[in-house]
Chains A and B, each alone.
Chain A
Amino acid sequence: MTPLQKQKVDTRVIVETPEGADFQFVIAGAGTRAVAWLIDRLIQAGILALVSILALFLLPFGEAGAGLGFGGILIISFVLDWFYFSLFEAYWNGQTPGKRSQGLRVVRTNGTPIDPANAIGRNFLRAADMLPFFYTVGMISMLMTRRLQRLGDLVFDTMVIDERREWISRSGGLTANIEAFPRSECPRRFSVPERTLAVIERLFESDRIISEARREEISRPLSEALRKRLGYVDPQPDPRNPHTFFRTQGFRHTMFLLRVLKTFAENPEGTKSLAKNSSEERPTPVVAYQTKRFAARTADFVNSELSNFLADDAADRGRGGREP
């Protein structure tokens, strides 16, 4: 755990694979699950209606036919009640039609796919979760568990994950409208160490819940050190239209770091092509009481990195570096 490893204020859980790597799942919220459930209920109703219509064709066969049709409808409705969810989840690897439409999947809490016993068990316990009405028991249970599990999930060791969220890059849209530095604007060195770039990325990650002004403040020392290294000097205001210059002064350090990121972190074969769906960046919900702590921790981290950076830089120059 590094100092900035995410403090969990959202619904991610980390699963460790047998290979020793950690990866994250996003737990599905009650709202999405309710929508999926509603869709499944509608499908169940549809199937029952269809079966009832088919049963009408048995009517011409007299009383025997009518009885058979009626008994059949009752059996189908029993199967739908108790096995609709579990059969789908067992054969579709943790998904029902409703869950599939919402991008949800049931997995075990260690991240592995469920087996039929998990599927049947967690859905049998719906009978307990849905009491006394509208899944009240299940809802209370979800509020009390980190993985938002209802009773059926708890007993059978499963959780519902939101798979669509996995594909959204959280800092992808960061440098969308930022200009890179031309080489001519940086008369001294034209490189920034990897670790420093990573620090800047961290600083701008959308789950660092920091106000713009505070971020500018944190950025200043690093920005000034980098300016020195690159030999970059802010251009003077354009006398014909000084307005733009003064408007951006308040965030000059933040803007500078973003441009550094754009110039040095996004080489054409690098991360640029890796950031999928960069336009779809989703804001992470802000939790107010966390804000101060995040800002303080981020500032600490950036400052410690800054001293590393200055030391490295000094060492470079001491060796009679490659300065022009």
Chain B
Amino acid sequence: MPQTEEGVAVNRERFIRQRRSDWQRFETLVSRLRATRQPQWASSDVSDLSRLYRSICYDLSLVQSREWGSRLEQYLNDLVAQGHNALYRSAPKSLSVIWDFFAYDFPRTFRRRIGAFSLALALFLIPFLVSTLVAWQRPEVAEMIAGKESLEAASQNFGEELYADMDAKYAGQRSAMAGFYVKNNTGIAFQAYALGAFIGLGTCFILLSNGISIGMVTGYILSAGPPTTENFFSFVISHGSFELTAIVISGGGGFVLAHGILFPGQRTRMDSLRHHGVESLKLALGAGAMLAIAAMLEGYFSPLPISAGIKYLVGSCLWLLVISYLSFAGRGGTASEG
């Protein structure tokens, strides 16, 4: 006959008789608490819950060690599972998390992972520069690779004044385009990140192909001469600061993910994946926010019918802003690194 610590013989029936009232109280308590949100739980309920939960954990261990039947074990198992889900959950987070993320966490993670960013930058910038050069010197090669119609259309677009003035047509088209930029560009950036899960190959592919196609257009327009060229560069300089940087950062996130898979170092591969997974997600989310800003700029500011000089000025300031944000934000701050 099994003995409890006090030396009193406890058989299965007596055990069930003694403990049943606690189990039932626990069941009603959990179902009641489930219906209300955690911040509104009464403190007496919470202390009851944790006390009962601990005692039921003990009951479950007892039943498991005494072989008192699988039904009893199953029942207590379910009680423990419910209590576990009620008690252990991530701390409720306030909106200050968002501020902390952009003020400290994102730029810090970026600097910590500057290596992955550099790799992504190289994979984007080198094909971009090469294809720009090729398309500039030999437009016919670019026409062959990227398709004559699309390049000519792009060139013609920038050949004339974009908008004469800000009317209803301007507002309508720009809103639609802003939506399109959010969906398309941010989608590409997130894909560049997620495909890092294939040991970085997917990320490479997206960075390379985007570098080449953007370079082709740039080079082709360069070859078209002054009015087109000026329209084009004054258009892209402002939002380019956020957009191009963000796409490369997102690709860097993909490489962080790949790093976790390929080089676990002292960790187990699973641990390494989890660690790098969270880091890389921060990069992708930060890049997503930057792309939302870029889409608004590209939608509403870049095509404004104002002089190119102002656009160059604002665009340079934005580049400076992005670079100094990424290099200096969150240095020596107080928020904890997460």
Which of A's residues lie within 8 Å of B, judged by CB? 2, 15, 17, 19-25, 62-68, 70-75, 77-78, 81-82, 93, 107, 111-117, 120-121, 124-128, 131, 151, 154-157, 166-167, 169-172, 194-195, 197-199, 201-202, 205, 265, 267, 269-271, 274-276
Contacts and interface: CB of A to CB of B under 8 A. Distances in A.
Contact of B198 (A19, A64, A67, A128): A128
B175 A71 contact: yes
Interface string B41-68: 0000000000001100110110010111
Nearest to A275: B71
A81 B277 contact: no
10 contacts: A19-B57, A24-B81, A72-B179, A73-B179, A111-B81, A113-B85, A116-B90, A156-B277, A194-B12, A267-B13
B243 to A, nearest CB: 15
Contact of A111 (B68, B84, B299): B84
B175 A155 contact: no
Given A23-B81, A64-B172, A195-B67, A271 B57 contact: no
A23 B198 CA distance: 35
Given A155-B273, A194-B68, A78 B16 contact: no
B204 interface: no
Contact of A112 (B13, B17, B67, B89): B89
Interface in B271-289: 273-274, 277-278, 281, 284-285
Which 9 A/B pairs are nearest by Cβ-Cβ distance?
Answer: A67-B172, A71-B179, A74-B179, A127-B194, A115-B90, A63-B172, A21-B57, A19-B57, A155-B277
A269 B257 CA distance: 56
Interface of B: 11-13, 16-17, 20, 53-54, 57-58, 60-61, 64, 66-72, 74-75, 77-78, 80-81, 84-85, 88-90, 93, 168-169, 171-180, 182-183, 186-187, 190-191, 193-195, 197-198, 202, 257, 260, 270, 273-274, 277-278, 281, 284-285, 299
A197 B69 contact: yes
B186 to A, nearest CB: 6
B93 to A, nearest CB: 7
Contact of B70 (A77, A107, A205): A205
Nearest to B276: A155
B91 to A, nearest CB: 8
Contacts of A66: 172, 176
A112 B257 CA distance: 24
Contacts of A120: 281, 285
Given A23-B81, A70-B176, A198 B16 contact: no
A212 B326 CA distance: 71
B57 A20 contact: yes
Given A78-B186, A172-B71, A167 B78 contact: yes
A92 to B, nearest CB: 12
B69 A265 contact: yes
B182 A67 contact: no
Given A127-B195, A198-B69, A68 B172 contact: yes
Contacts of A167: 78
Given A81-B187, A269-B20, A113 B197 contact: no
Contacts of A68: 171-172, 175-176
A17 B197 contact: no
